[in-house]
Amino acid sequence: MGMITYEKLRSYSYSNDKLIKGEIKGVAVNFTGLGGSAMQEDNERAIRFAAHGIILLTPYNDPWCWMNDQAVAYTDEVVNVVFEHYGLDESTPIAHIGGSMGGLSALVYTKYAKRTPKTCVVNCPVCDLPYHFTERPDLPRTLYNAFFDEAEDLQAAMEKRSPLHLASVMPDVQYHLFHCEWDTAVFKDKHSDKFYEAMKDGHSITYDAVPQRGHCSLTPDAAKKYEQYIFTELNAL
């Protein structure tokens, strides 16, 4: 459809690009968790990324999208606007990042994106989407909404966006996985543990278990390590 222009970008996605003073070294595409629908303003994280020369984008996808086909196409469009506006070379490194549903989105988008990233860094991601359908009573409505057009085979639609089910065909990029041990919203043993086991022999992946923390609540040290992975992979230290 191509509705999004650079002049209108901030109506469709957060971007910190105007905070960057010098060379653009990379792009980080950030995905929000389930229900994340608020438009965003510049914050400390955006300023840190800008100081490293990294464009931080948070596409305003449907808050229950579960990285459906529309969300993939929408995100491709947002990323393309930035690449075209700044004349970025196709070798410009990209990171996909996010937590919870945003972690799933970052992983699934790594598989389906028009531009394959260099790295994917995720926090407490949903990895087994068909299982997650049964994990909490608030989830079936969101997944049925996300895949309503494919609802004649909801299981197949979920498997298409389930990192665990995509593990064998995930692209050869650098993966960095964090999961909090006290997570009761997305259980570590049902999601990241299984995804890491499915990925570790065929892909480059690190896995940090974060003790005594709940869902997406990284310790200060883990949060710093999370960002360091992004800056390092984008050659932006």
Q: What is the pLDDT along the chain (237 residues), one digit of tens a residue?
A: 678 999 999 999 999 999 999 999 999 999 999 999 899 999 999 999 999 999 999 999 999 999 999 999 999 999 999 999 999 999 999 999 999 999 999 999 999 999 999 999 999 999 999 999 999 999 999 999 999 988 789 999 999 999 999 999 999 999 999 999 999 999 999 999 999 999 999 999 999 999 999 999 999 999 999 999 999 999 887
Three-class SS of residue 21? coil
**What is this structure's pTM?**
0.97
Three-class SS of residue 109? helix
| CATH fold group of domain 8-233 | Rossmann fold (3.40.50)
Rounded distance between C-alpha atoms, residue 64 and residue 161, angstroms: 13
Rounded distance between C-alpha atoms, residue 164 and residue 197, angstroms: 10
Domain ranges of the chain: 8-233
Cβ atoms within 10 Å, residue 221: 10
C-alpha distances in Å from residue 206, one per residue of 47, 107, 214: 26, 14, 20
